[in-house]
Chains A and B, each alone.
Chain A
Amino acid sequence: MQGLRDRVAVVGMGCTKFGELWDKSSDDLLIDASLEAFADAGIEAKQIQAAWVGTYSSFRTGVGLSYPLKLQYVPVTRVENACATGTDAFRNACFAVAAGVYDFVLAAGVEKQKDSGYSGLVANAEVVSSETAPMVPAPTQFALAATRYFHTFGLSFQEGKQMLARIAVKNHHNGTMSPKAHLRREITVEQAINSPMIAWPLGLFDCCGVSDGAAAAVITSPEIAKKLKKDYALVKAVGLTCGSAQGVQQQSFDFVHFEETVDAAKKAYADAGVKDPRREISLAQVHDCFTITEALVCEDLGLADKGHYRDEQNKGAFELTGTLPVNTDGGLKCYGHPIGASGLRMMYENFKQLQGKAGPRQLKNVNLALTHNLGGKPGGRFTCAVSILGRAD
């Protein structure tokens, strides 16, 4: 069984501004993101032979993409896997190219999250059910992990809030250097700690915003990429795992790690040939839907020891100036979380870093860039996707 390593190339990416884009429909956002990706790749829409478009709730069927782009009778698959949607759309597009079926494919993700009409990530699946399961919106779901993290690793409420607040501060700082981010201002630890409680122990500043946005990637084989341009990137790995809700049925689930992340990372590292992620990964965009998520995920990805995120945090390891910058563009904290788009937005940042086009956020010596995306209910119905992009050599 072969992995994906070095069999797929990303030749162009696009990303819209993320924010409260009342005047933009999902059609507008997909057009904006895709046109930027085509321009970056140096191709035209009519060269796209197949597409995968990820959205949680903005439309059904693949026509949501082919309609605005006026793609002419090509296969388009709508992909959904909660917050891992964007990466999963990318993953499926990669398979098509790796299998040698298509030359140029498009992976896109979009969400008109603000069209829901509510603040916050409301829990809204359309599945008909008995409705007895507690209504657990996203902040509350991840707050369960925060409560247990503080308890397991002996953090007082203040210490825990401090750890989380510093993550929000870091990401806000990075967001000030991201023109496409929704939120672009510095905040302080005090502001974060004292913000109104949303789902105890998580406060307002522990939660990512709600915004609209889209991102897209043009994917092709490395052979074709080489002929097109110099600054393409190679896909080293894309991993996805779906749990089976073990965490809310088994007493053995500790609520301080996400098995889905650990597993997806293991598979991605193996595919990419990464043995020591702390040394080999140059930067990581991780799913900071909530500050606690970023801390737990960094541990689950092996970037910090379990229970010891603070050790690395204290060293400044994850700052833009650190040894392994995390969420260099400000993350979900500053971009918000248009569900279908986030995974691809993360990849866009990594792609720009690899291309040397990340402006004030540009890191030196970018070799392997990781994205991590998770979705659903921690411990419950949960999925995780991890991707690794590398330089074209």
Chain B
Amino acid sequence: MIGITRYGAYVPLYRMGKGTEAWTARGERAVSSFDEDSITMAVAAGLDCLGDIDPKTIDAVYFASTTSPYREKQAATLIARALDLKDGIFTADFAGSLRAGTTAIKAAVDSVKAGTARNVLVVAAEQRVPQPRSDFDENIGDAAAALLVGREDTVAEIEDIYSNSQEIYDVWRTDTDVFPRSAEDRFVAEEGYLKSMKEAAAVIMGRNKLSHKDFAQVVAYAPSARKHTEICRSMGFDEKTQLAPAYFGQVGDAGCALVPMMLAGVLEKAKAGQRLLVASYGEGADVLVLKMAKDGVKPAGVRGLSGYLASKRLLSSYITYLRWRGLVNIAFAAKRPPLKIPGVHAVWREAPSNISLYGSKCRTCGTVQYPAERICTQCQTIENMEPRKMSRKGAVFTYSMDYLGPTPDSPMVLAVVDFDDGGRGLFVMTDRDPNEIKVGMTIELSFRRLHTVEGIHNYYWCATPIRS
């Protein structure tokens, strides 16, 4: 049976909510940090989804987002590197629509059905930037999710998929717009999502001879909590008993990642035999009928949506968020030299160490070292190394906090990290509270975008306190 075999999610640490200076909306909104973007969040969700399975068993990776950091450069290739998938794996980016996430799932199912892939990892992530104080500002949130589509050990079988499409200016951004635009509310609802989702739901239920009561849960896109209820009723379902949570007031409208994220949350808990209707919208609707082949569980070591929802920190000020999104230009703590342009040849050459986190282990003396070396740091034996994937967990051996560092998140915290299973490295610490850093504290490495210089987004791993 083709379906979803594994699932994971990622919600950034920070929330804006009650207590955030100058935040006027009710409820909380998940806010990605200045060093996060759709690619880094997709990697986090991908890591959560894959857990301990061998990443080399993945045949393809599809990335869905309307907020890729690139217009002309594939994001999926970088995500594949960071997740340490097979060399030369089939990659594709799905963009341009709030239903890109489910469109990618559909393409994945079609690939597996056609036999061009045994499995496909679908990762969706979104970092939309709403105009401050607009309606979007209250409701948009940042998040990511990842679903593995395959044939083996299926948790949720995908029984059917139906899509309709329509050409409409309801919610959109051009290639140069920063903020999403919206047509008038009633038009957006009546001719946009209500119409498309209702029609698609009706068609898929009709052709499968299913009625509303056959569905235990409905996972539906919506741009806000009120509209979520409206959509549910419009499709003919009962919002009290059937509507899966969309986490407005906790995360927010995570664009094309919202439905995959909600689905990842549902799959943790749904029971064998239950049917799910999954409906997303963006110039048309994608609807899927899923049937649980077994009870949903959260595998050991996987945080899942529930884990990420439970771990949060209130952002102290709306102004910090504006600064992080580049909407207000605030000077750094001290005048610093301009960042140097990364050498793209060095970036390319060092990807196995920098992106895939490979070090090496000396076969002669057993010392694990990062980055990989040809001559052992410990015993100086020449070229007797085996590749070693570094652990993403470790402990802080020592640290300092640079109050003059070129960061929007002063002070810049530097940590010498001893990896759990050998080796040591020096990393910036992010998502951290300076008052809570201690020698010996455990950390995990998180994929982040350090900075952008001359059109080059420079990605690397940073240490973060464990998200508990």
A156 interface residue (CB < 8 Å to B): no
1/0 contact string of A306-331 vs chain B (CB within 8 Å): 00000000000000000000000000
Chain B interface size, under 10 / 10 to 19 / 20 to 34 / 35 or more = 35 or more
Asked if A255 and B458 sit within 8 Å, CB to CB, the answer is: no
CB B351 to nearest CB in A, in angstroms, measures 9
Asked if A198 and B404 sit within 8 Å, CB to CB, the answer is: yes
Asked if B342 and A197 sit within 8 Å, CB to CB, the answer is: no
CA distance A246 to B424 in the complex (A): 10
Asked if B377 and A132 sit within 8 Å, CB to CB, the answer is: no
Asked if A140 and B453 sit within 8 Å, CB to CB, the answer is: no
Asked if B397 and A135 sit within 8 Å, CB to CB, the answer is: no
A130 interface residue (CB < 8 Å to B): yes
1/0 contact string of B67-106 vs chain A (CB within 8 Å): 0000000000000000000000000000000000000000
Within 8 A of A (CB), among B420-468: 422-428, 434, 439, 450-451, 453, 458-460
Given A144-B400, A199-B401, are A132 and B458 also a contact pair (CB < 8 Å)?
yes
Chain A interface size, under 10 / 10 to 19 / 20 to 34 / 35 or more = 35 or more
1/0 contact string of A126-160 vs chain B (CB within 8 Å): 00111111111101110111111001000000000
Within 8 A of B (CB), among A359-393: 379-380
A251 interface residue (CB < 8 Å to B): yes
**Interface-facing stretch out of A44-52, A107-115, A116-124, A232-240:** A116-124
Asked if B400 and A199 sit within 8 Å, CB to CB, the answer is: yes
A2 interface residue (CB < 8 Å to B): no
Asked if A147 and B343 sit within 8 Å, CB to CB, the answer is: no
B369's nearest neighbour on chain A, judged by CB, is A249
Asked if B427 and A134 sit within 8 Å, CB to CB, the answer is: yes
A131's nearest neighbour on chain B, judged by CB, is B342
CB B99 to nearest CB in A, in angstroms, measures 35
Of B340, B398, B405, B406, which one neighbours A144 at CB under 8 angstroms? B398
1/0 contact string of B390-426 vs chain A (CB within 8 Å): 0000000111111111100001101010100011111
Asked if A130 and B337 sit within 8 Å, CB to CB, the answer is: no
Asked if A250 and B398 sit within 8 Å, CB to CB, the answer is: no
Asked if A122 and B337 sit within 8 Å, CB to CB, the answer is: yes
CB A78 to nearest CB in B, in angstroms, measures 23
CA distance A357 to B28 in the complex (A): 72
A244 interface residue (CB < 8 Å to B): yes
Given A129-B346, A130-B343, A144-B414, are A250 and B424 also a contact pair (CB < 8 Å)?
yes
Of A130, A151, A246, A248, which one neighbours B342 at CB under 8 angstroms? A130
Within 8 A of A (CB), among B314-356: 334-337, 339-343, 346-347, 349-350, 354
Find chain B residues with CB under 8 A from A137 CB.
402, 404-405
B450's nearest neighbour on chain A, judged by CB, is A132
Asked if B377 and A151 sit within 8 Å, CB to CB, the answer is: no
B370 interface residue (CB < 8 Å to A): yes
CB A41 to nearest CB in B, in angstroms, measures 39
The count of A-to-B residue pairs whose CB atoms sit within 8 angstroms is 140
Within 8 A of B (CB), among A79-109: none
B367 interface residue (CB < 8 Å to A): yes
A75 interface residue (CB < 8 Å to B): no
Asked if A144 and B416 sit within 8 Å, CB to CB, the answer is: yes
CB A157 to nearest CB in B, in angstroms, measures 12
CA distance A118 to B337 in the complex (A): 7
Find chain A residues with CB under 8 A from B460 CB.
132
A273 interface residue (CB < 8 Å to B): no
A68 interface residue (CB < 8 Å to B): no
Find chain B residues with CB under 8 A from A124 CB.
337
Of B334, B367, B404, B411, which one neighbours A250 at CB under 8 angstroms? B367
Asked if A118 and B426 sit within 8 Å, CB to CB, the answer is: no
CA distance A136 to B413 in the complex (A): 10
Asked if A249 and B400 sit within 8 Å, CB to CB, the answer is: no
CB A202 to nearest CB in B, in angstroms, measures 8
CA distance A211 to B349 in the complex (A): 38
CA distance A147 to B413 in the complex (A): 12
A248's nearest neighbour on chain B, judged by CB, is B426
Asked if B414 and A134 sit within 8 Å, CB to CB, the answer is: yes
B378 interface residue (CB < 8 Å to A): yes
Asked if A130 and B347 sit within 8 Å, CB to CB, the answer is: yes
A42 interface residue (CB < 8 Å to B): no
- CB-based closest 9 A-B pairs: A143-B400, A200-B401, A128-B343, A132-B460, A148-B398, A131-B342, A130-B346, A140-B402, A130-B347
A-B contact pairs, 11 of them (CB 8 A): A129-B340, A129-B343, A130-B350, A137-B404, A143-B401, A144-B416, A147-B398, A148-B439, A151-B439, A199-B401, A248-B424
User: Besides the contacts A130-B458, A137-B405, A255-B397, what 17 more A-B pairs have beta carbons closer than 8 Å?
Assistant: A118-B337, A119-B335, A120-B404, A131-B451, A131-B458, A140-B400, A140-B401, A140-B402, A140-B412, A144-B398, A144-B399, A151-B439, A198-B402, A199-B400, A200-B400, A249-B377, A251-B422
